[in-house]
Structure 1
Amino acid sequence: MKASRRAVPEDARPGTVVAARSAIVALTTAFLSATGLLALLAGRVARRVVTPAARGTDTTIVDVDTTAQTITLSHSADTVLPGRYGLFTTGTQSYVKVGTVLTARADSVTRKLLTQIDETDRLTSAAAFSGWYFAEPGELHLPFEDVSIPTALGSCPAWLFPAPAVTDVWAIHIHGRGTTRAETLRGVPVFHAAGITSVLASYRNDGDAPRSRGGASALGATEWRDIDRAIGYARRAGARRIVLVGWSMGGAIALQLALNSAHRDLIVALVLDSPVVDWRQVLEHHAGLSGIPKPLTRAALEALTKRWAAPLTGAADPIPWDRLDLLSHAGALVAPILILHSEDDDFVPIGASRALRDRRPDLVDLEEFDGARHTKLWNYDEQRWTSRVRDWLVARGLSGGGASDS
């Protein structure tokens, strides 16, 4: 009897098996390549987030009239704003101040110069429009001292503006990402007039303070520790009530301090200008404006939470998004908060500030501007900004100087 032969299935024939294996290898290679490409792109996006921002140019100087003391700039949403601003320049002047808009055309804006420019000055066309206005502490014409705040990374320089009389109320002013303590100078006069001593602090990687390992920004997740040392400095000098004043990322740092500071018992109020309340919302907003696909944005944000991804992202330490989301921790806040934010802020949208107000209406007052842009509310309407801060401080018994009875 002949042994029966079982038919070989068509898909198990040698040629087919080889072809199938080749297809699997090809698909696997393609998948890994696509995954690798996504990881590479996500890493690049993530690296942008934590790389300390450098000041770029966003404005062109079209003309300077030294007789009329006017300057003509390219037209943009910033250069057409009413109010007083600064302009970072190169040439014989590194920074000039500009005032009233005199004429606005489709492609240019002419403003009054508030810094004297003469015929011998030469300015290049590239410039950066700024809300700082004051560039140096001496411009406030108030007594101040250069002081150093000891931190784990070394000494962080700061400016100290003593109150007119001895007081136990101190304000710690915290600048934003990619800027320096000079950004906060415009906020000092209202606190000085209220009888409050001010410390304008620096923190790691801001160009004034020491550099951390890797030099990457942690978006406030580690920077708050340097500012906590500034609070400790104030405490040792007699401060018993601390007001935190944060601008943009400085607002995120102030909120971290309100939750985590070793001196939390002294923090009695927060004044926040255009604050970052939830970084994920801000970064997703910018990714959308840049046309970055949502899956890539999510991959980049996820990569920043992983220690193993550090060589790809440039982050020295994982970014704790949940801890930086103050909406999730709103219930833990205890100090009253004044937020000043503009509906037209296209850099840090106002939505998260509104959400924080809605979650803690017992603590949070939100002063909404319209027309002003990111951290330019003081510039846009100085009288309104100043009076709102002053009245809020008075209502909380923080104005007038002197020591508390407690």
Structure 2
Amino acid sequence: MVRAILIPPTSREQDTDILDVDSAAGTITFSRSPDAMVDGRFSFWFSDATGHARIGRIRSATAHSVTRVLLRVDFGDIESATKGRFNGWFYLYPSDLGVEFDDVVVDTELGPAPAWLVRPEAPNADSSADPWVIQVHGRAVMRAETIRAIPVFRDEGYTSLLVSYRNDFEAPTSPDGRYSLGDTEWRDIDAALEFAKDHGATSVVLMGWSMGGAAALQAVSRSPLAGLVKGLVLDSPVIDWVDALDYQGRAKGIIRPIRSIVYSMISGDWGAPFTGLEDPIDLGRLDFVGRAEELSIPILILHSDDDGYVPSSASRALAEARPDIVTLEVFDTARHTKLWNYDPDRWTAVIRSWLRGLDAASVTARSSRPSERTGRSRSPRGAG
């Protein structure tokens, strides 16, 4: 369990069989799997990730199979492929959107981390403003995951910076080669904030996907540049790692006493010989339901109740604890980080509406601090 949590995987499970490819009809038939049965547009990696195709909507389904539109094969021989896996990326490069972009480098404490920079189509209506969004991908994936979000932010006048971070197969590896679940990855987000500030950003929205959400939350609570961040958008985020790991452990049949030992190993110095961590992970610091009172900027959370990987329970709990700053948009059927794929119109509309109300929401958040409810003075850390 410890290895599954902390060690970046070198391969991914291929959980879907390819039963038939009809090139003339432009269709492909799969065995039924949880992801294969979600309607919408998806990436499909096949033949141990040596091939990539783009899959469209469901055409028909039986008790054992599902036939979908085969939109495009980017590379690989899908005719001879037998297995693969669905993925929410859909796009591989920003150029797939028909937009201009620059390859840039963010200088992190571990070395250069590649990133993509996409400028808005038109300048912001406020000529003195240069708002940016920094996109932070999830665990065991890469920055291509976040390309889906470029259009809505670009249309609203935001410069998009799609970053890589330690141990994600593109950025430098940490000395221990282990994930820290956001507890150190946030430092690379801090470097991205520095890059944005140095290149003219007057404010930043952080958007985190899955574990990227955990890293973004750490950044707004720990970065010296947190004041530059005016809002958070979180897609299928990890709000509380113990909640997420408990969910996954139960699904694998791991009993509570064993799970408790695992958490103790991860968070204690004594566990280092088993975990390989350079420093223990502070799981309490990664619980933003417990730390809800410390948050002070507007947050939009998009989460599917059938996520299947990160339960929506902590997202719901944070929204309940901080209704003054948290907007929660609950999906169903979409599964983990595939909300755009399943319902792009709704996903885009929700983010666009939230962005347009962000300035007003920021004013409301600044005038309604948690200290008003607790009776204690609190500095507006992280206010944009």
The aligned amino acid for 1:50 is: L
Find the residue that maps to 1:82 and give its secondary structure: coil
Q: Retained in 2: the 8 A contact 1:170–1:241?
A: yes
**Number of the residue aligned with 1:353:** 315
Question: Using the alignment, how far apart are the partners of 1:319 and 1:208 within structure 2?
Answer: 23
**Contact persistence 2:52–2:74 (CA under 8 A):** no
Unaligned runs of 5+ in 1: 1-44, 399-405
Match status 1:289 vs 2:251: yes
CA drift at 1:120: 7.2
Q: Which amino acid aligns with 2:43?
A: G
Give the aligned partner of residue 169 of structure 1.
131
Separation in 1 of the partners of 2:252 and 2:281?
A: 22
Q: Which has the higher contact order (CA 8 A, sep 6+)?
A: 1
| Residue pair 2:113, 2:172 contacting (<8 A) in 1 also | yes
Question: What amino acid does structure 2 have at the position aligned with 1:206?
Answer: D
Q: Is the 8 A contact 2:52 2:73 kept in 1?
A: no
Matched AA of 1:203: Y
The DSSP-based 3-state class of the residue aligned with 1:113 is strand
Runs of 4+, deviation exceeding 3 Å: 116-123
Aligned-pair distance for 1:307?
A: 2.2
- 1:371 Cα shift? 1.4
Choose from 342, 362, 387 the match for 2:304.
Answer: 342
Residues 316 and 328 in structure 2, CA contact (< 8 A), matched pair in contact too: yes
1:332 alignment partner, one of 284, 294, 302: 294
Q: What 5-or-longer segments of structure 2 have no aligned partner?
A: 124-128, 361-383
1:298-317 equivalences in 2 (<5 Å): 298-317=260-279
Segment drifting more, 153-162 vs 314-323? 314-323
CA distance in 2, matches of 1:337, 1:117: 36
Q: Which residue of structure 2 lines up, in the alignment, with residue 363 of structure 1? A: 325
After the TM superposition, which residues 131-170 of structure 1 pair with which residues of structure 2 at under 5 Å, given as runs? 131-166=88-123, 167-170=129-132
Q: Is the 8 A contact 1:51 1:314 kept in 2?
A: no
TM-score, normalised on structure 1?
Answer: 0.84
For the Cα contact (< 8 Å) 2:51–2:77, is it kept in 1?
Answer: no
Decide whether the 8 Å contact of 1:91 with 1:122 is kept in 2: no
- The one-letter code sitting in structure 2 at the alignment partner of 1:75 is R
Identity %: 46
Q: What is the match of residue 13 of structure 2?
A: 56
Q: Which residue identity is paired with 2:241?
A: W
Deviation string 1:211-238 (CA, Å, 9 cap, x unpaired) is: 1112100001000100110011000111
Match of 1:15 in 2: none
- The structure whose residues are more often helix, as a share, is 1
1:223 corresponding residue in structure 2: 185
**Partner of residue 202 from structure 2, selected from 218, 235, 240:** 240
Q: State the TM-score, normalizing by the size of structure 2.
A: 0.89
How much is the aligned-residue C-alpha RMSD, in angstroms?
1.9
Q: Distance in 2 between the 1:288 and 1:229 partners?
A: 36
Measure, in 2, the Cα distance between the counterparts of 1:129 and 1:117: 15
Counterpart in the other structure of 1:110: 67
Give the letter for the 1:160 counterpart: L
CA distance 1:106–1:164, shift in 2 (3 Å): same
Do 2:135 and 2:162's aligned partners in 1 also have CA atoms closer than 8 Å?
yes
Deviations 1:124-173 (A, max 9, x none): 21201111111122101111000000011000000000122445100000
Partner of 2:175: 213
Paired with 2:65 and 2:72, the residues of 1 have a C-alpha distance of 20
Give the drift of 1:117. Answer: 8.6
The structure with the larger Rg is: 1
CA contact (8 A) 1:55 1:178 kept: no
